[in-house]
Structure 1
């Protein structure tokens, strides 16, 4: 009898990475695979009972375990601290992580003493799918005889950029100069479409340490047994074609949130449960939804310009104002002031059920940071977007939205209330943008449906994992 496939899914412990890798995990469970989803202890405590609620109904094949990240519980774990989190996790989690993969002398299975039944009725771990930002996890797994697959949560075009782009570019250069060295994007990308950490403030500044890490990690992905990307050929065909020869195997299986057999509750922040009722009271396509994601921080001046532009545009709007989003502000006072300034047309919340908001008939456009999860969620629902990117792959994603797919407008490098007002109005009123958004949504939905490119690739991936699992079980005997 063939060994049961049991995949350990290990995301980098921030919201955006957890989201799409949990959708992937639940899709695997739907395909009959056992999955252990690995959180940090800090994040699993934040999720509480909501983590177990993520398991597809009636399935015992998904469980949640945790390892330490080495940081105190009151540490902010903000976007400015990601490099510290990266280093601390690698230093502190290795022992407990290896224990999850190591055969137990008493049970014969790979398990860890993590405060629960070490096996939980699960078969041994036979395959690792780890975030591409965790190369040490790949090395440890392969050393222990567990085949490892890389999962990159960003767009394919950003991965290709980090591998081949001229990074960083010189200080003082023209931001509209074309970027060379990225095949298929020679006439598309400008320097302003690269991640902000590629910009040197002056000639004497060294390369940003985070940029060094990202470039190194992008090159490392090719060493895994395969690379999984949360995308589809309809969105990024050229980038995928240029990435594939650099990998041992490549699977484009997205958008995963549209393929998951059950909605997954992965939010580290409490969602406001009154959003839907408020939207129900608004006219169709009348609401602007504004959210800058789970990590972005902005200045008080930037907040004022964005907020004032939304008010001036004149549409009802739902604004996600995280408690830690605006620098040097008193959270409660700022939220109260925003509610007053927005009047009856504004609803201000700390966090929203974004997928539910985007699919609501009242949703007219999405003012977004253009993170890949948010970009894909808007694409699937056919919602026009206004992009104000912040970091990582967001600059290049926003360029694709505005210049390639033409499903929205790219507002990068501008934070002016008059521009915000004008851009939001155009996104809400442009019939051309809405037609493009809806046409792309229809194509992507075909991709994830039975027989579509992503669905076919996912089936191939499940077979690949089961084959690796059989080999892993033989080696582990």
Structure 2
């Protein structure tokens, strides 16, 4: 039996107010607290408002379901009123997060420290994409823990942005053909078309500023935690560990110590319960479709997928959230779609994705390739049809389809056509697509948080190293 690692310290955790970042941060908080660490978890007031109203059971503390853990809960203003549309005005929002939010964080951290038990040394746990960790850590003399919620491969690419610049691959030339990049330490040769979207855009955007600022900050971190598994990206993690203290602790969402009798509320949207509908379906007969919480596509893509579903004859659950299409239209499905699919389809604005993927009725996942979605799909043994849209998703697709061979592409060209959609759906739902590889990768994820698994061991190593420096 492995000896439990427990340390007495105080983690001040501040996540970004987005679902893909929030989910692993909550689970990391639970894991730290299960090791005896006091945690102060900070949400923006807007994120707290969305979580509590989506459940129709407002609570001042989302961690009240875990009273056995010492997790304090706090909120901070992001500088905007609750009814401000942060998605529609995301450039203005992020410019403010970069310009104005750091001073608010600094003041809050100072207040938390001054009102906390002085016998518990505080340290900072912040999202790698935040613009303020190094400043706050230096001001209060805190150890700075950076938490990266995407694959290590993408961290390594952004970390070595200077090499892309030196080799003329960033910024990209609009007229350039596809190139293979084979000089980034720890990263296997990768096509320019498989780089993250901010590295494929020739014109600078707010996304560039967010990423570039983040990677100027992260070199000042004392520890870097990665929500990936050592066995999935061994070479990349090994190379990164030669630069800074690096620990693969994924999938943190499934770490064994985070289980509670009542789930901690994390969803920023109201979730439709699909369990009864799924329970009435045969095993592996349902395709689940979701493009995550942020990514937008165009109406034509949605309509071609809809026509492909009609042709395929497959049962499905399809998450079509508000603002999923760029033109913000409300009626995005083709005329007559409901009649064409009759009772074999369920269209919902949002749902508990893990609960759906865990259902025996689900046999495939058409996904935008967000990292949380990939981890959840692999954990549940559900093969993927990949349609990346932006951010980290093109690189995630490469890992899933080309490297690990646990999914297929939705389309072989740039355009989506209904015939190809129907063909790919039938291929995945027939069970012929990459089942053997999926079982192997799934085993690696499940083993990682076993008693002697790599993520369990790495997390304990992180705690020991933290305890040594704190």
TM-score range, shorter chain: 0.7 to 0.9
TM-score, reference length from structure 1 = 0.86
1:135-284 equivalences in 2 (<5 Å): 135-164=131-160, 165=164, 166-175=169-178, 177-187=179-189, 189-200=190-201, 206-247=203-244, 249-259=245-255, 260-262=258-260, 263-273=263-273, 275-284=274-283
Change (3 A) 1:335 1:142: farther
1:76-95 equivalences in 2 (<5 Å): 76-78=85-87, 81-95=89-103
Equivalent residue number for residue 11 of structure 1: 15
TM-score, reference length from structure 2 = 0.88
Equivalent residue number for residue 428 of structure 2: 427
1:131 to 127, 130, 133: 127
Q: Deviations over 1:424-459 (max 9, x none)?
A: 222222435122112211121111111100000111
Equivalent residue number for residue 325 of structure 2: 326
Q: Deviations over 1:55-97 (max 9, x none)?
A: 553325112211111223233222x744433331244434442
SS in 1 for 2:147: strand
Equivalent residue number for residue 114 of structure 1: none
Say whether residues 1:386 and 2:385 are aligned partners. yes
**Contact persistence 1:339–1:348 (CA under 8 A):** no
How far does residue 51 in structure 1 lie from its aligned partner after superposition? 7.3
**Contact persistence 2:43–2:76 (CA under 8 A):** yes
CA distance in 2, matches of 1:399, 1:46: 33
Change (3 A) 1:445 1:336: farther
**Contact persistence 1:309–1:420 (CA under 8 A):** yes
**Contact persistence 2:7–2:36 (CA under 8 A):** no
CA distance in 2, matches of 1:336, 1:465: 58
SS in 1 for 2:233: helix
How far does residue 341 in structure 1 lie from its aligned partner after superposition? 4.3
**Contact persistence 1:321–1:351 (CA under 8 A):** yes
**Contact persistence 2:12–2:41 (CA under 8 A):** yes
Unaligned runs of 5+ in 2: 1-5, 53-57
Equivalent residue number for residue 304 of structure 1: 303
Change (3 A) 1:338 1:35: farther
How far does residue 216 in structure 1 lie from its aligned partner after superposition? 3.9
How far does residue 192 in structure 1 lie from its aligned partner after superposition? 1.6
Length, aligned pairs only: 447
**Contact persistence 1:10–1:37 (CA under 8 A):** yes
Say whether residues 1:29 and 2:33 are aligned partners. yes
CA distance in 2, matches of 1:32, 1:337: 57
Equivalent residue number for residue 55 of structure 2: none
